[in-house]
Homo-oligomer: A and B are copies of this chain.
């Protein structure tokens, strides 16, 4: 589990990525519009305004967790500090482009809660983000791991765990065609997929090592 410091070209790339993730995740709050009531408004009126904000706040929490999950995967993908390779640059930029798009997709979803098209766009965004994340993880983990940071099982899991959000997003996508209002609930299945992918990684590695 040695953790070599990344060389400085990789470090700058990770740094730039962290900044984009951090900005995208923090910008989410901008789309939760602040109610301003006339002076002397009653507490009841304020609570009503807050009730109207529930979709926006739900979207804030959901997308915060989703972007955080992509960041954690990015963080794990470079844990072994591979040597810098210029072939990482564009796949990384493409992932960041879809991550930075999340505040839009989130606001479109939450301002039109219950409508099919915004839910479709949101879930499609997650599908594309998952695919780009899996692609980047595979490229990062194929660059050699001289320090042996990742065990075999850990590596097998890392290379597939991006699929958890993909599966959850596809479920949400399909569900959204029929019952838009609750389609996002399907995203809550991500931890289940993570668990299944972890089990599969373990059994695969065991199968290989016992053969």
Contacts and interface: CB of A to CB of B under 8 A. Distances in A.
A27 B30 contact: yes
B97 A32 contact: no
Interface stretch (A64-72, A137-145, A165-173, A195-203): A64-72
Given A36-B112, A101-B60, A24 B26 contact: yes
Given A8-B5, A22-B20, A72-B89, A29 B101 contact: yes
Interface string A78-122: 010100100001000100110011011001100110111110010
A6 B32 CA distance: 36
B8 A4 contact: yes
A103 to B, nearest CB: 6
B68 A25 contact: no
Interface stretch (A41-49, A127-135, A155-163): A41-49
A75 B118 contact: no
